[in-house]
Chains A and B, each alone.
Chain A
Amino acid sequence: MIATYSEDYAMSIGNDYPELRDALRKLCADYPPEYWRALDKEEGYPDAFVKAMSDGGYLSSLIPEEYGGLGLPFRAAQLILQTVHEEGCNAGACFAQMYTMGTVLKHGNADQKQRYLPKIATGELRLQAFGVTEPGAGSETLKLKTRAVRHGDKYLINGQKIWTSRVAHSDLMLLLARTTPLDEVKHRKHGLSVFLLDIKQALKDGTVEIKPIDIMTNHLTYEVFFNDAVVPAADLIGEEGEGFSYILSSMNAERTLACGIAIGTGNWLTQKAVDYANERIVFGSPIAKNQGIQFPIAQAHAEVDAADLMARRAAALLDAGVPCGYEANAAKHMAADAAWSAADTCMQTFGGFGVAREYDVERVWREIRHLRTAPISTNLILAFIAQKLGMPKSY
């Protein structure tokens, strides 16, 4: 009843892109659980896997062919992520390379697109860091304080970001900074601007410093400090002061793609639980014979499947260019919850072995938890849906 579209849009409900699925399964077979387990332990970056994904063109799937990308629909990109996670791999370290460039593609000028997109498509330039969140501005983006001040043909950036992932594995950072102080703007949604910052150079110059944050998963996220970091005016994306609306429009893509990760992971976990429950003999029969074991797994599977349909709808609308704030957010919410419940069920099915690292369940259980907090928290999605339903803003 709060659908934002009036026409009917086609959406695949079957086994779409079979050749893409096959190719990815082959690719993923080279990165077995031991590979991910070792990386998790040493908190390493999956360089070999990311290179394979890049070489296969998968990370350029959303870049139009004229800029050297595959030019595939969002649904295909979503499915790429889903398949990778179904195969027990983890695209968390590189999937931002797929969509962060969307802001440049949509709002950048011809020169910027020509300069950056082909190199992003080949993987020569990695644009997978997105500087938005600050210590005092998490869910409340408009409160961000990092300043960008124009001096002639360049901007100087000062301030601090937090939870900026993959900074050390990026050449460029998409940065949201304040160009007009909050008390001087006409409308509170104005005054923020989007920049492409050459993060490699800035780190070399010492105008940007980064500090890794110690977290419970191997996610490589950082605090970032800007001290007169330089961005040429030619790397301001779109119009000055309009950054917030650009970012908002890119968020639907991020959420829709995140669904792929959640659903793929959910499917992996459910399968893992089924296999274990069928093999594990307790009290003389496979534990899968107990309703107490099989019902939670069946429930988790149904939830993941329902989220899959919602995710396909969000992707179909994005591909049709139809506004889909509700659909993208609702799908992400359901997918993150379903995957989390599949993780919890899988761990319970494994019993004590669920917490032993050699079975991989505990690692995936840890990894999937953060989808309920990032890229947007469950609370904020529910507040947004409630507003869409015509209830007052609650925050």
Chain B
Amino acid sequence: MRTDRDFGFTEEQLLLRDSVRDFVRKEMPDEYARRCDREKIAPLDVFDKMAELGWMGVAIPQEYGGSGLGFVELGIIQEELSYGLLELAILFYRATVHGAHSLLTYGTEEQRRKYLPLIAAGKFKSSMSLTEPNAGSDAAGVQTRAVRDGDHYIINGAKVFNSQIDIADRTVLVTRTDPDVAQHKGISLFFVDPKSPGVTIERIDTLCFRSVGTNRVTYENVRVHKDDLLGELNGGWKNLMTNLNKERFSLSAQVTGAAQAAMDCALQYAKDRVQFGKPIANFQVIQHKLADMQIAVHTSRMLTYDLARRLDAGVTCRKEASVAKVFTSEAYFRVADEGMQILGGYSMTPDFPMERHYRDARLMRIGGGASEVMRNSIAKDLGL
């Protein structure tokens, strides 16, 4: 039977959603999600099973081995994967959106033919290496240098919070190739193999996102062939910007699924937990918290799929992408925080997923563009 959550999707999209949902219930149950977080296990086994089902190629054109579907489908998959474990959805996202869409939007035909079929088959993982110790929100301030040397570029520098690079086949490395022009005009992207000599990767101990995790990376005289330049020389910044809306969309879909999971957990707990002679769900203040959570999740989902349809239609949507990212990530945090309050002391234990949601949700207000940066961007789009 279809419910209110089905409105607006085609039958095919609902079938896709149901199959991802079944897959997640089976392959990423709570116990496994907990183990991934606690024991720092990247769920690559689940990734491989997804690849066998062909989901990695969902938004890659058919000519490159994908199924040529769009952002609504990408959103559905990410939302449902995230219901099981946020980092599973992110693993999927980094493989399909970061890598594939970088190639699709600014790769050469040769690069596309070389990598996209592998990505679609799930045999290739990529990563994005942008943030540096002194270039976070001010991303155009990257200092990692790439200097031409014959057919190669020699790369030196340091990146931080580089997630998934330790398991990636290639990373989109953001470098400075011209230090003498305005900072956003001297940036170039390379598609670099992290196993190249001179690359050192060190895991960072963090509060959250401990399954796939994040890293500090140094590049010491790393040689990269000129054919691995992505897009035109010194044109990297513009290319990076084209993918930001897709990133914000993906994060919105992910936090929506995770927020739904946190809310479902709190709802079940409120019904089960008896205090003062009745389930705490009978108390109005708990009911109102759950109502607020429902409002947050519902609004997040609407913003996410509205953005998906804009991306599919190819209309300008920078403002909408920023709105969705800031709203959905803050909504997820509110849901997790109220979830903590509803679960009381038990929220602190790994017997329930709430403490993981609470930790993970906290990063979503920072990563992928901090809330403050989103608001700056919205203000700019308002002409301020």
Interface of A with B (CB < 8 Å)? 41, 133, 136, 138-140, 162-163, 213-217, 281-284, 290, 292-293, 347-348, 351-352, 354-358, 362, 365-366, 369-370, 372-374, 377-379, 382, 394-395
Contacts and interface: CB of A to CB of B under 8 A. Distances in A.
A394 B284 contact: yes
A351 B366 contact: yes
B341 interface: yes
Contacts of B283: 394-395
B358 A369 contact: yes
B207 interface: yes
B285 interface: yes
B207 A362 contact: yes
B171 to A, nearest CB: 17
B205 A373 contact: no
B275 A138 contact: yes
B160 interface: yes
B161 to A, nearest CB: 5
A354 to B, nearest CB: 7
Contacts of A284: 138
Interface in B134-190: 134, 136-138, 141, 160-161
Contacts of A293: 372
CB-based closest 8 A-B pairs:
A362-B207, A215-B348, A357-B205, A355-B207, A282-B138, A216-B355, A292-B372, A395-B276
B375 interface: yes
A356 B204 contact: yes
A348 B341 contact: no
B348 A216 contact: yes
Nearest to B367: A352
B208 interface: yes
Contacts of A373: 340-341, 344-345, 347-348
Interface string B367-384: 100111001100000000
Given A214-B349, A292-B372, A352 B344 contact: no
Contacts of B201: none
Contacts of B348: 215-217, 370, 373
B134 A281 contact: yes
Contacts of B209: 355
Contacts of B347: 373
B207 A379 contact: no
Contact of B341 (A41, A136, A378, A394): A378
**Main DSSP-derived SS at the A contact region:** mixed
B207 A366 contact: yes
Nearest to A217: B348
B136 A351 contact: yes
B350 interface: yes
A133 B366 CA distance: 37
Interface string B197-213: 00000001111110000
B363 interface: yes
Contacts of A362: 206-207
A363 to B, nearest CB: 8
B362 interface: yes
Nearest to A133: B345
A249 B203 CA distance: 50
Contacts of A378: 341
B376 to A, nearest CB: 8
B205 A140 contact: no
Nearest to A219: B348
Nearest to B356: A216
Contact of B363 (A41, A355, A379): A355
A364 B285 CA distance: 28
A377 B344 contact: yes
Contacts of A140: 275-276
26 contacts: A41-B205, A136-B274, A138-B275, A139-B276, A162-B345, A214-B350, A215-B355, A292-B372, A292-B376, A347-B366, A348-B370, A348-B372, A351-B137, A352-B136, A352-B366, A352-B367, A355-B206, A355-B366, A356-B204, A358-B205, A369-B340, A370-B348, A372-B341, A373-B347, A379-B341, A394-B284
A182 to B, nearest CB: 12
A213 B275 CA distance: 21
A377 to B, nearest CB: 6
A282 B139 CA distance: 9
Nearest to B350: A214
A183 B136 CA distance: 64
With most chain A CB atoms within 10 A of its CB, the pick from B345, B349, B371 is B345
Contact of B372 (A216, A290, A379): A290
A357 B341 CA distance: 25
Contact of B362 (A292, A355, A356, A358): A355
A348 B344 contact: no
Contacts of B161: 352
Nearest to A363: B207
Contacts of B136: 282, 351-352
Nearest to A379: B285
Nearest to A215: B348
A357 B359 CA distance: 13
A348 B329 CA distance: 13
Contacts of B160: 352
A283 B366 contact: no
Contacts of B341: 372-373, 377-379
B304 interface: no
Contacts of A290: 372
A354 B366 contact: yes
Contacts of B355: 215-216
B51 to A, nearest CB: 29
Nearest to B283: A395
Nearest to A362: B207
Given A348-B366, A372-B341, A373-B340, 12 more contacts: A140-B275, A215-B348, A216-B359, A282-B141, A292-B375, A293-B372, A352-B136, A355-B363, A365-B362, A369-B340, A394-B283, A395-B283
A357 B207 CA distance: 7
A384 to B, nearest CB: 13
Contacts of A213: 349
A86 to B, nearest CB: 22
A2 B319 CA distance: 49
A34 to B, nearest CB: 13
A293 B137 CA distance: 13
A351 B344 contact: no
A284 B275 CA distance: 55
Interface in B320-348: 340-341, 344-345, 347-348
